[in-house]
Each structure stands twice: as C-alpha cells, then as structure tokens.
Structure 1
Amino acid sequence: MDNFARCFAFTLGAEGGYTDNPADPGNWTGGTVGRGALRGTKYGISTAAYPALDIANLSEDEAQAIYRRDFYAPLHGDELALPVAMVAFDAAVNAWLRRSVCWLQQAVGVLADGVLGPKTLAALNNMDALALAREALARRLDFYSRAPGWANFSLGWTRRVIALAGEIIH
C-alpha cells in the first residue's frame, strides 16, 4: 500500500461519517459555533473549510480527491517517510495544513512558519522518521490540551493521537 492509501485509510477511519455536532466549529459555515449554517462534517471534510460543498451527500471518492489535492499533495506526502506522512496528513485534516506543518517544523527545530518549503522538507528527511513523527504528535497533543475545544473533544483527540502513534510503528 502506498503512502497516500495508508494515510487516507487511517484518517478516514478516525474521521468517520457524517456528524453535525453543534459544539464543533468546523460544522458551521462561518467556522465558529453559531455562525452561519450548521451543515456538518463528513469524512473529515468540514463545512467551515468547504461551505459551498454538499457535505451530507459527499461521497468517499469525492473526499479522497479533496484529501489528495488539498492535504496530501501540499505536504509532499510521497517525499516523506510513511510515519511522517501519516502524522502530517492526519494533523492537516484534523487541524488544517498550516498548523500541521508548524508542528513538523517545531519538531525538527526550523522556523515554524507553516510553509513546507525545501529547507523544511530537507530537515524532515534528515531526521529519524519515527522520532520526528512522535515529536509532532506530542506537539499536536500539547496544542489540543490548550485549545478552546479541549473540554468537549479531549477524549476523542487523545484517542486519535494514541491510535495514530500505534499505527505509525506498523
């Protein structure tokens, strides 16, 4: 199985199907709880990020195309070791691309500007992939623990990070 297939399979399983939890800002067209229309998230594709998309009727194939175009390709997933690609991809889907890249940059000690350029890519590929992936996961969990949604989503976020930590060693 190639990098994208592994990344997609894990993240799709973690995201699941349709949800319209009103406490999740991603489920609102305005990106903030109570702002805009509550139209939900499906397969991790949120109304906040894609307000014009018919989320409830989104197919898995459509989600896969969005994942590849908007998350995997900008992360240069085919150029990264699998553990790093999986951690970066899942973080990009769950917390958006720029934040995912910042966690990777913090983990390797380069300027955390959220831009995955040649310097960051070289640094990522010159570090032990498993150690880097674990450090990025730790930074993700640290961020979540201070996020406003922690009270509502802490168990789910923590379970997801733990599951991903187990997945990257296989």
Structure 2
Amino acid sequence: MTDHFPKFIDRLLSHEGGFTDDRRDPGNWTGGKVGVGQLKGTKFGIAANTYPTLDIKHLTRSQAIAIYRRDFWDRARCEKLHPAVAFQLLDGAVNSGIAQATRWLQRAVGVADDGMIGPITLAAIRATDHNDMVLLFNADRMDFMTRLKNWAVHGAGWMRRIASNLRYAATDN
C-alpha cells in the first residue's frame, strides 16, 4: 500500500506557514482562549493550545512532521482511507481537531457522529463513494466554520484553504 503521508504533509504545511503569535487567535495561547495562559504562538500549524509545553517558536519542520504523523495521520487512521478522503480528514483534523473532523466524515457516510473511527465508520466509508464523502465532508466543515466566533478574522483564509483542498481532491480521486 502506498504511503500518501509524505505528499499530503507537504500540502498541509503549505497551508500553515511559519511562526505567528497573533494575540486574537485562541490557538496561540496555552489555555486555548485569548488571554488565558501563555502566548506561545503557532508554527507549521502546531499550536500552543494543543501543545502547551512545546517550545513552539523553535519547533523544526521535521519535528512538526513527526507530530503530524503520530498525532493526526495515525490517530485518525488516514492510512485506511481513499487518498482523496485521507487528505481532507488530515487537514480538517489539524484545523479543527480529530474528533470534529471525524464527526464531519461520519455525517458524510451516514453513521452516528461520535468522533471515533471504529469498525462501523470504516464499513460505512468503504460503502460510500469517496467523491461524495469529500463533498459532504467539506460542506459540513464550511457550515461549522461559518458559525465560529473568530469567523470575521479567519473566515476568508479558511474558505481559501478548503477551496484549495477541493482542487486537491479532484487530483486525488
């Protein structure tokens, strides 16, 4: 089986960029809320709210890639999915958390959205057209994002990211 992670991590990192410590972004704070904890920032998409003890500012690209494989790709079981779906799930998990991204995927395949990929979800994934999954997944993702408090600040960037991902899906199917 082909390991798509190396290709997909390059895509994902193209969305993320270097170090930022925007005070308005709750992800940049170790407490997960603006003004709560320390302002440590985000680098390569690795955020202080998720990794509060990590030295974000000095994180290397290689360290970020190792974190993405272990904590996102492997935990979300992306290797078991069609490549078009695997990338969307990986990107959604990085952007909104594994449980949330998994719920979008579960809704796309019509199973209970408990946020965990188990045998029922995997069976439903195998029985659903991957193109339909990608479209439904991203529709739910966009709907979710438009209701977030920081939509006014980050919404346009999130939509450009999803538009880019839909273009990738066209080449992955």
Normalising by structure 2, report the TM-score.
0.95
Query: What is the 5 A alignment of 1:1-150?
Result: 2-150=3-151
Q: Which runs of 5+ in 1 are unaligned?
A: none
Q: Which amino acid aligns with 1:127?
A: T
After the TM superposition, list the runs of 4 or more consecutive aligned residues in structure 1 that deviate by more than 6 angstroms.
none
Partner of 2:160: 159
Residues in 1 aligned to 2:17 and 2:135: alpha-carbon distance in whole angstroms: 24
Percent of aligned pairs with the same amino acid? 43
**CA-to-aligned-CA distance 1:67-100 (integer Å, 9 cap, x gap):** 0110000111111001110000000001000000
**CA-to-aligned-CA distance 1:136-164 (integer Å, 9 cap, x gap):** 01110000001111111110000000000
Q: Which runs of 5+ in 2 are unaligned?
A: none
Q: Is the 8 A contact 1:3 1:77 kept in 2?
A: no
**Secondary structure, counterpart of 2:170 in structure 1:** coil
Q: Is the 8 A contact 1:145 1:154 kept in 2?
A: yes
Q: Is the 8 A contact 1:40 1:46 kept in 2?
A: yes
Residues in 2 aligned to 1:6 and 1:127: alpha-carbon distance in whole angstroms: 24
Count of aligned residue pairs for this structure pair: 170
Residues in 1 aligned to 2:138 and 2:10: alpha-carbon distance in whole angstroms: 18
Residues in 2 aligned to 1:105 and 1:149: alpha-carbon distance in whole angstroms: 25
**Secondary structure, counterpart of 1:169 in structure 2:** helix
Residues in 2 aligned to 1:88 and 1:69: alpha-carbon distance in whole angstroms: 15
Normalising by structure 1, report the TM-score.
0.97
Residues in 2 aligned to 1:82 and 1:6: alpha-carbon distance in whole angstroms: 10
**Secondary structure, counterpart of 2:158 in structure 1:** helix
Q: Is the 8 A contact 1:29 1:37 kept in 2?
A: yes
Give the C-alpha shift of residue 64 in structure 1.
0.7
Residues in 2 aligned to 1:6 and 1:124: alpha-carbon distance in whole angstroms: 22
Give the C-alpha shift of residue 6 in structure 1.
2.5
Residues in 1 aligned to 2:86 and 2:159: alpha-carbon distance in whole angstroms: 19
